Amino acid sequence: MALLEVTNLKVHFHTRNGVVKAVDGVSFNVEAGQTLGIVGESGSGKSVCCYSLLGLVPQPPGRIEAGTALFDGEDLLRCSRRRLRQLRGNEIAVIFQDPMTCLNPYLTIGEQLIEPLLYHRKTPRKEARQQAVALLDEVGIRQPERRFDSYPHELSGGMRQRVMIAMALIAEPRLIICDEPTTALDVTIQAQILKLIKDLQHKRQVAVIFISHDLAVVSEVADHVLVMQNGRVVEQGEVAELFSNPSEAYTRKLIASIPDGAKSAAPERRELQPHPLVSVSHLRTWFRDHSIGLFSPAAAKAQRHIKALDDVSLRIERHEILGVVGESGSGKSTLGRAILGLAPVTDGRIIYDGRDITNLSARAMKPLRRRMQMIFQDPYASLNPRMTIFETLAEPLLVHGLANRRTVAAQVLALMDDVGLVRTCIRKYPHEFSGGQRQRIAIGRAIATRPEFIVADEPVSALDVTIQAQILDLILDLVARHDLTMMFISHDLGVVRYIADRVLVLHRGQVVEEGDTGKVWAAPQAEYTRELLQAIPRLAHVQP
Amino acid sequence: MFKFTLSRLLQAVPVLLVVITVTFFLVRMAPGGPFSDEKAVPPEVLRALEAQYRLDLPLIQQYFSYLGDLARGDFGPSFRYPGRSVNELIEAGLPASAELGLYALLIAIVIGVLAGLIAAMRPNTAQDYIPMSTAMIGICLPSFLLGPLLVLVFGIWLEWLPVSGWGNIPGDKILPSITMGSTYAAYIARLSRGGMLEVLSQDYIRTARAKGLPERVVIVRHALRGGLIPVVAYLGPAFAGLLSGSFVVETIFQIPGLGRFFVQAAFNRDYTMIMGSVVFFALLIVVFNLISDLIAVWIDPRLRNPSRGGR
Amino acid sequence: MSTDAPHTGQLPDDAEQGTSLWADAWARLRKNRLALFGLGVIIFLCVVSLLTPWIAPYGYEQQNLALGATPPSWQHWFGTDIFGRDLLTRVMWGGRMSLMVGFVATGVALVIGVLWGTVAGYAGGRVDAVMMRLVDILYALPFMIFIILLMVVFGRNIILLFLAIGAVEWLTMARIVRGQVQSLRRQEFIEAAHSLGLSRWRIIRKHLIPNSLGPVIVYTTLTIPSVMLLEAFLSFLGLGVQPPESSWGLLINNGVETMEEYPWLLIFPGLALAITLFSLNFLGDGLRDALDPRSSKD
């Protein structure tokens, strides 16, 4: 008998706009000591499915309509709230996605860590503390005695996720549900956390349900995989079998969507001219650290600068795509914004098409704005929610005098065709579109003025993998058709490898490595680049 | 913590100075003086009075000598109550006002927080609507309306409670305290409901539930601190408001408190008393804002050491 | 340049009309019965106030000393006061004044607060620090005493009353607007507008103001009742509107004096004030829920 047997689980949400079948007849088993990976895009019901087992889905609007979930022979969906509470944190524990928001900021991590022991085991406080400190040590937190009394905000993201893992393990549960446990983390930290989860699982022989949108991550940790779409199970099977030989079209599409391999287009478009389009030399952007108290010593104040960019030099040739790679806090976004004059420059020079544009005034910059544009990361924040698509796309055309009121409609429609938007939705507002469509609108706005240079800041990071693939192809297509030069900023090495001709690796505001994408991948020079490349989860088991 | 307190107190000095200066010149600019009502005062007596209160000096000199007195904690002699200083008058009125304010605040916090909690536990159900509609009534019935209504119902029609006085008849403190506390209770109820709803939707509450903690522990241990932060921020200004709003209640229930002195002072153009009351209340506001900020820091560890701030 | 409304031109015939956030908010507000009720009451009161000189059943000063104070009857729905004046008429005239104070003083607060907040929030840096520091200082003033002082010292003057109340209420408005503008300024769509090379004025007009309007509307709706309350409070102290002008606060004050003998003189003006405050608060709450983007997601 399996540890957990879920049959025909149905969870519906009853909203004002009708019933949403979040989970619609899902069945699966989890064997003791094994890992089940659940893969799906946003809205596939993968999280709801697991939360409903523990009674963590808010009801209403949620309602469990049907199904059984036998945990060690006991039906989780039918047991009392009291019994369910006894199981939670004790027999079944959860590790959530975002360690920044999932720890209570008002309590020390020690206090939160020992709660399962205090309430389930009635362990005396002193003993609980000893166990907690030992466990903190085991999950790789240095100075566990001291950290026990720290508050969450005093720890880094990776550290907090280790605390979350310790919290899940402390009552020695038999099943752990990991919901996207590494999605909010940088890739090198992700590799460490994944390894930690695997090690602990083998050591303690717990069963794990590992939920993720990232196929590669799942393929690394899971024994058995479940693919979900729109609340239903599309396919399930052994990990090696499923990934090497997927039987369903959707699974194949998912696998194909992973940006894999080098850029297909040959880099021959690049014309090496004596003058690059953009050249940046010794760029520094330092921000004053505003978090300093009023009475901190003057000596400390002098050093309190956040060096977002520290002596960065680069060239972008015409018609190339330069990928800029870095983890959070590496300064990659600031670099893109500084080039476009949207972030301050402390020192250094930015030359655009032979002209010094460092700290140019808004007025002097305006004619250049037509030629350089930006695509932002979050398609939900980068569009004015109170303007229709028509207004959004018409604005740059009208402001730069590229259209008059008669011709603008035709131009906007052409633009919409260009980025693959349906013409009939021209009068709709951003909130009526999906993330991918919004990103198409944002791209349309960026290319409206027929610019020659575009900075794309993580344009696909907020999108699902299948949508991501479509948008990447759209970008490549537009770059080719409109002869664009692009700076493509991303934390995702797979995406950069797929799209960029040349790559620049940033680490703590400095350039660590620069070179042709193929060469950097084949033979990274810097230690940090090697570390980064090693940390990328790879789709194991796939036969090319 | 000490540094924080110190810097806040230092910041209060210019605030108080502005308050004092503006009030001082505003009062003096107004037509009519404290002795202008007394028509039959012979000129020499008036001059003597003015000399006694230093009104014959140039305005700017009066201002600085007043500041000098203030620095020594001396609010000066009252113009209208001969022989008594403003300090004495404040001391005489403070006990009743402070006691009334304290009771009202207690009522406001206990009822307000409880109602807010109950409503936040089951939003958009009867358990939410009933306390929140009641709170709305509390907000819409100002004390000058609620007080007389309570007197009318409980004092005159039902004859359950005394209608006025303070500390003379048993139970005479109940109606004024309720009158004054109810509006604040209503605001606190709304604030704590909002705060709790905000906190209860946070991820860390889901974490606490996922640990299998009893709901009571989730609410009290994990949610209450964060949920009450808006209430704490409100308490500083609220307490100052309780004191300054008290003249209505003190008038209705004939309580010998500060509020009535101050309104009287304004009507009488009792310069020093007006100044005294403004400075005194400004001081109260500063102090209570500081206290509520200190409580917020005590609750939220992220505020304790901003240079190590996480996010 | 007239590029503001580029709605003309040939759009596809089958273009679907989108629903703007405003239309969404209105749809949500329409489902909130209490807020609709509030809106109805406010509209009704405004109409009655405007028409009072023509529809009031009796003359405002029309006394009937022989009649004296009588409880509500068919002739006098709200009864009469000790001079035999019709209370309904007096409540109608009082409401006119109370509503006017509420709207005008809120308007004063709105104008000052929005300007101050937008400038501070958009300028940022040192300008912002100085401007908001000033607001903090004003917050520390014991305003109630201050207004009383103003009224006593300069005499009861209705213009001064508007200014004094407006001067108190704009502070919070300024803070709200500034917070809104500041958070908007960091949004990517404002950055996108900059990168498109839009002028500062166009960004403020087309991107900042429309997006910060929601909280401003909500706060305005909630300011009106608190202003009316303040006026009533001052009138109650005998410092606001003065006879022969009337307001609900003044009527309540008179009612309190005789509440043992003639309770209706307290109850009717009190009810009128309470119902108005109720309606405005419910409407404000409803607008807040309707305009809150978070509530649009379910």
User: For C102-152, what is the HEC assignment?
Assistant: HHHHHHHHHHHHHHHHHHHHHHCHHHHHHHHHHHHHHHCCCHHHHHHHHHH
From the list C148, C278, C281, the residue facing B263 with the nearest CB is C148
Q: Is A119 in Cβ contact with B202 (below 8 Å)?
A: no
Contacts of A221 (CB under 8 A, 6+ apart): A35, A37, A194, A197, A198, A208, A210
Residue C5 has pLDDT above 50, yes or no: no
pLDDT digits 0-9 by tens, A340-356: 988 888 889 999 988 88
- Which of C256, C261, C278 is the best mutation test for B, with the most CBs of B within 10 A? C256
CATH topology agreement for domains A4-251 and A278-535: yes
User: Kind and range of the H or E element at C93?
Assistant: helix C87-123
Quick one: angle between helices B229-244 and B174-200, nearest 10?
160
Q: Is C233 in Cβ contact with B142 (below 8 Å)?
A: yes
C233 neighbors B144 (Cβ within 8 angstroms)? yes
**What's the topology of domain C44-290?**
MetI-like fold (1.10.3720)
> Buried b / exposed e across B271-293, counting CB within 10 Å, b at 16+?
bbbbbbbbbbbbbbbbbbbbebb
pLDDT digits 0-9 by tens, A87-121: 888 889 998 888 788 899 889 999 999 999 888 88
> What is the per-residue pLDDT for C12?
61
Q: Looking at B62-71, B116-125, C72-81, which range is the least confident one?
A: C72-81
In angstroms, the CA A36 to CA A120 distance is 26
Residue of A nearest to C192 (CA): A382
Q: Is C21 in Cβ contact with A409 (below 8 Å)?
A: no
pLDDT digits 0-9 by tens, C265-284: 888 888 888 888 888 888 88
A-chain CB neighbours of C212 within 8 Å are: none
Q: How much is the average pLDDT of B13-28?
A: 80
Q: pLDDT truncated to tens, each residue of chain A (544 aa)? A: 788 899 899 998 887 777 888 888 899 999 888 999 999 888 888 888 888 888 888 777 788 888 888 888 888 888 888 888 888 888 899 988 887 888 998 899 999 999 998 888 888 999 999 999 998 988 888 888 888 998 888 888 888 888 988 898 888 888 999 988 888 778 888 888 888 888 888 888 889 999 998 888 888 888 999 999 888 888 988 888 888 888 888 888 888 888 776 665 555 555 556 678 889 989 988 877 554 444 444 444 445 677 888 889 999 988 899 999 988 878 888 899 999 988 888 889 999 988 888 888 888 888 888 899 999 988 888 898 888 899 999 999 998 888 888 889 899 999 999 898 888 888 888 888 888 899 999 999 999 999 999 999 988 888 888 888 889 999 999 998 888 999 999 988 888 988 999 999 999 889 999 999 888 888 899 999 998 888 888 776 554 4
Average pLDDT for chain B: 80
Indicate the class that CATH gives domain A278-535: alpha beta
Phi, psi of C17, rounded to the nearest 5 degrees:
-75, 125
A93 neighbors A173 (Cβ within 8 angstroms)? yes
Q: For the purposes of burial, counting CB atoms within 10 Å of the CB of A27, is it exposed (0-12), middle (13-18) or buried (19 or more)?
A: middle
- Note down the domain range covering B190: 94-308
From the list B3, B207, B212, the residue facing A102 with the nearest CB is B207
Residue C67 has pLDDT above 80, yes or no: no
From the list B3, B202, B211, the residue facing A115 with the nearest CB is B211
- Which of A53, A115, A155, A303 is the best mutation test for B, with the most CBs of B within 10 A? A115
Lay out the sheet containing A372-375: strands in order across: A372-375, A453-457, A485-490, A321-325, A502-507, A510-516
pLDDT digits 0-9 by tens, B116-137: 888 888 877 788 888 888 888 8
> What is the per-residue pLDDT for A393?
92
Percent of chain B with pLDDT over 70: 91
Q: Is C149 in Cβ contact with B274 (below 8 Å)?
A: yes
The domain spans of chain C are 44-290
In angstroms, the CA A177 to CA C30 distance is 42
In angstroms, the CA C243 to CA C90 distance is 12
Residue of A nearest to B11 (CA): A294
Residue-level length of chain B: 311
Note whether B302 contacts A: Cβ–Cβ < 8 A.
yes
From the list C141, C229, C260, the residue facing B142 with the nearest CB is C229
Q: Is B266 in Cβ contact with C142 (below 8 Å)?
A: no
In angstroms, the CA B68 to CA C141 distance is 21
Note whether B36 contacts A: Cβ–Cβ < 8 A.
no
Residue B92 has pLDDT above 90, yes or no: no
Residue of A nearest to B225 (CA): A106
pLDDT digits 0-9 by tens, B222-260: 998 888 888 888 887 777 777 665 778 888 888 888 877
Note whether C192 contacts B: Cβ–Cβ < 8 A.
no
A-chain CB neighbours of C192 within 8 Å are: 374, 376, 382-383, 442, 445
ipTM of the shown complex: 0.77
CA angle C263, C269, C272 (to 5 degrees): 130
Note whether B8 contacts A: Cβ–Cβ < 8 A.
no
The domain spans of chain A are 4-251, 278-535
Domain count, chain B: 1
B-chain CB neighbours of A120 within 8 Å are: 212
Residue of A nearest to B125 (CA): A60
Alpha helices by DSSP H, listed for A432-499, are 435-447, 465-482, 493-499
Average pLDDT for chain C: 78
Compute, in degrees rounded to 10, the torsion defined by CA atoms A420, A422, A426, A429. -80
For A4-251, which CATH superfamily applies? P-loop containing nucleotide triphosphate hydrolases (3.40.50.300)
State the nearest Cα–Cα gap between C141 and chain B, in angstroms.
Answer: 6
- Which of A288, A294, A301 is the best mutation test for B, with the most CBs of B within 10 A? A294
State the nearest Cα–Cα gap between A301 and chain B, in angstroms.
Answer: 11
Phi, psi of A248, rounded to the nearest 5 degrees:
-100, 150
C-chain CB neighbours of A61 within 8 Å are: 298
Note whether A328 contacts B: Cβ–Cβ < 8 A.
no
Q: Is A424 in Cβ contact with C197 (below 8 Å)?
A: no
Question: What confidence tier does C14 reach under pLDDT thresholds 50, 70, 90?
Answer: low
State the nearest Cα–Cα gap between B309 and chain C, in angstroms.
Answer: 20
Q: For the purposes of burial, counting CB atoms within 10 Å of the CB of A505, is it exposed (0-12), middle (13-18) or buried (19 or more)?
A: buried
